[in-house]
Amino acid sequence: MTDSRPSIGSAPAQADGVVISLDAMGGDKGPQVVVAGLEAFLAETPGARVLLHGPEQVLTPLVRKLGDRVRIVHAPGAVAMTDKPSQVMRTGKDTSMWSAVDVVRDGRAQAVVSCGNTGALMAVSMLRLRKVPGVNRPAIACLWPSRNPTRFNVMLDVGADIRADAEDLLVYALMGTSYARQGLGIARPRVGLLNVGTEEHKGRQELKDALELMQEAAPKGEFDFVGFVEGSDIPSNRVDVIVTDGFTGNVALKTGEGTATLIAGLLREALNLGPLSKIGALFSMRAPDRLRLRIDPRRVNGGVFLGLNGTVIKSHGSADATGVAAALTLAHRLATAGFAGRLAARVASAVALAQDNGTDGGATPATGVEAPQEQQR
């Protein structure tokens, strides 16, 4: 495979010219599962090419049958889920995660996918890719199953940083709308600000300040602002983008995943309680299958790091082949759309809007790297 070298944040790429960078060593289940997911992705995505990072002696036997669409980039080390981000930033240059991010920085790939340590991936990505000018705090966005025609809502931040002031939340709204446009095809997304109630007098002061900023920014930002929303609105058809701080978003995300697992388990138990239940299950077996597919977290696997000079997709550490393939598909879709460049333009408009509103948008070009909250997933 011949490497292409577009600049970071380049214009939309041709689908057959997109290169995805994949960290083979980050997942809980080992490189065999990552490569199985890669194989499924390549089968469904003609023309896509992948740079696969990890120990050459381990990966070579696994990718022989995948042909020249996959190139191994030798990286002897690996980031463990227990490693602290600060430790990885000091000593992780030989790891598959670092290598996978670096090829995006160098323009040899348009997006990176890793199943590895979330905190370390954010730290390395911030160090090597740098923040987009105007972004104070990057955010992680996820797709949440919903009743919308697209079947999903976008929620951010779900864990990049536990803090967010009013200006940060405005930037999140602009980044979230860009993701909704490119990832879900929504021309004019509806944005809601997550709060403890929908009344304007409720919530912390930064939420009230963000409410005013978003109301003023919506016309120029080309989104519809619906105001405050509550937790029950996250899976609803009232909004397309839910904006919140990383602490609240991560708690909501983990709660939702746990609830989905509980429902699936209870459903299986109910359908196997006795002979009559099993007979009933035979007549209605397609309904549970449809429900399982609708809420299956593997099929929407992949949190997107927003606010960096490059597209970074964080897959679940426990992802199976289906989940890895889903994350790669998302990365390919965003890379084909030139997502990184479009997002940078949206952030620039957010800074201009904030300045028009009499604030500095919390935005100064990033010259250093702040270590994110240490976390593993």
pLDDT in tens, the chain (377 residues): 333 333 333 334 455 579 999 999 988 889 999 999 999 999 999 889 999 999 999 999 999 989 899 999 999 999 999 999 999 999 999 999 999 999 999 999 999 999 999 999 999 999 999 998 888 889 999 888 888 888 889 999 998 888 899 989 999 999 999 889 887 889 999 999 999 988 888 889 999 999 999 999 898 888 999 999 999 999 999 999 999 999 999 898 888 878 877 877 777 777 777 676 666 555 555 555 555 555 554 556 678 999 999 999 999 888 889 889 999 999 998 899 888 888 887 777 666 665 665 544 444 333 333 444 444 44
Domain ranges of the chain: 15-131+307-337, 139-298
pLDDT at 287: 54
Determine contact, residues 315/298, Cβ cutoff 8 Å: no
SS3 305: strand
Residue 305 token pair: 């790091």
Task: Give me the phi and psi of 283, to 5 degrees please.
Answer: -80, -20
CATH number of the structural domain 139-298: 3.40.718.10
Distance in angstroms (rounded) separating the CA atoms of residues 44 and 32? 19
pLDDT at 350: 64
In this structure, CATH architecture of domain 15-131+307-337: 3-Layer(aba) Sandwich (3.40)
**Other residues' Cβ atoms within 10 Å of the Cβ of residue 232:** 8
DSSP 5-22: -PPTT-SPPPGGG-EEEE
pLDDT at 371: 40
pLDDT at 374: 41
Residue 180 token pair: 């909704």
DSSP 222-266: T-EEEEEE-GGGTTSSS-SEEE--HHHHHHHHHHHHHHHHHHHHH
Q: Degrees (nearest 5) of the Cα angle 135, 139, 143?
A: 140
pLDDT at 294: 56
Task: Establish whether domains 15-131+307-337 and 139-298 are of one fold.
Answer: yes
